[in-house]
Structure 1
């Protein structure tokens, strides 16, 4: 599976996640990804992605093919030829250097841009900090950790997220009555 170990990437953290392997697809080694941006099409132009090696260093893997199926990327990686090999990748992130990302159209974001952002509601003040973004087949979901340790799940949609300031690491929301605390864990 491994094409090369990349020396110029000092750390796995130097790369940005495009998707996480959700499950094997079919018998020939394809994997379905949970996307980590709203730019699923970018997989079709990639010649390689990086997976985290056993030593924590990025390892490059060639992309043989990529397509969108039911709104989710399906990727075939070199050296992954059966369902068992593909299943071993479940839970692993596929990453690339940030310099290789496609420029985003207005109104689009990469998930890594908002992880760590402070979420503030117009009426309730600070809700918490974005811990991660969950991709779904519909609306993506913000996982927000509050100061008291509780977890809030908030839809990442224009109707609720009124302003996203990537540089300032802030998200202003206008949550409808009852949403905050509805699914707190």
Structure 2
């Protein structure tokens, strides 16, 4: 978590919109248009090639987050951006509020039960309609634990690298 070169995936280019070079973004920031606050972006394609870009402007519409990239003036150029991942340095994000956490900061932490049974490490988290879910993986299995505090996730210690859960290891 303290790696100064660490980057966080904030979204991706979902496709072209219209004829003037605008693109639709998938943004995983809250609110969705906050993605524009964290520039420069590092754009990464499926082959792992990267380039840095600044000056992307945009807005949230009811349905999409729409972006205009510098030097992208037509649909053909916009279509070439589809699938690019948008990364920013972790230290570009503001500190989390007390009791809140960036999902990316939880990934890789050890997961243990309140009784000290190791359940693996946090692989990732995902949202459902009802609550977020923490996915803990070890060599043998994957466990999906509702990210409900303090009922199931009882403690998070970023300094120690541990998430403590009240969860049956056999479930």
In structure 2, C-alpha distance between the alignment counterparts of 1:55 and 1:155, rounded to whole Å:
34
1:17 maps to what in 2? 8
1:32 and 2:26 equivalent?
yes
Q: Is the 8 A contact 1:160 1:173 kept in 2?
A: yes
5+ long unaligned stretches in structure 2 = none
Structure 1 stretch 80-89 or stretch 153-162: which is displaced more?
A: 80-89
Please point out which of 59, 65, 79 is paired with 1:74: 65
1:64 and 2:57 equivalent?
yes
Structure 1 stretches (4+) deviating beyond 6 angstroms?
none
1:50 and 2:27 equivalent?
no
Question: Across the two proteins, how many residue pairs are aligned to each other?
Answer: 160
Closer, same or farther in 2 for the Cα pair 1:154/1:85, shift >3 Å? farther
How does the TM-score come out when normalised to structure 1? 0.66
How does the TM-score come out when normalised to structure 2? 0.70
- What SS does structure 2 have at the residue aligned with 1:14? coil
In structure 2, C-alpha distance between the alignment counterparts of 1:87 and 1:15, rounded to whole Å:
23
Closer, same or farther in 2 for the Cα pair 1:107/1:42, shift >3 Å? farther
- Whose radius of gyration is greater, 1 or 2? 2
- What SS does structure 2 have at the residue aligned with 1:29? strand
Cα RMSD of the aligned pairs, angstroms, is 3.6
In structure 1, C-alpha distance between the alignment counterparts of 2:154 and 2:114, rounded to whole Å:
10
TM alignment of 1:1-185, pairs within 5 A: 14-21=5-12, 23-24=14-15, 27=18, 28-33=22-27, 35=28, 42-53=34-45, 56-62=48-54, 63-67=56-60, 74=65, 76-78=67-69, 79=72, 82=75, 85=79, 88-89=82-83, 92-123=84-115, 125-136=117-128, 138-148=130-140, 150-158=141-149, 159-175=151-167, 181=171
Q: Is the 8 A contact 1:30 1:86 kept in 2?
A: no
In structure 1, C-alpha distance between the alignment counterparts of 2:48 and 2:165, rounded to whole Å:
36
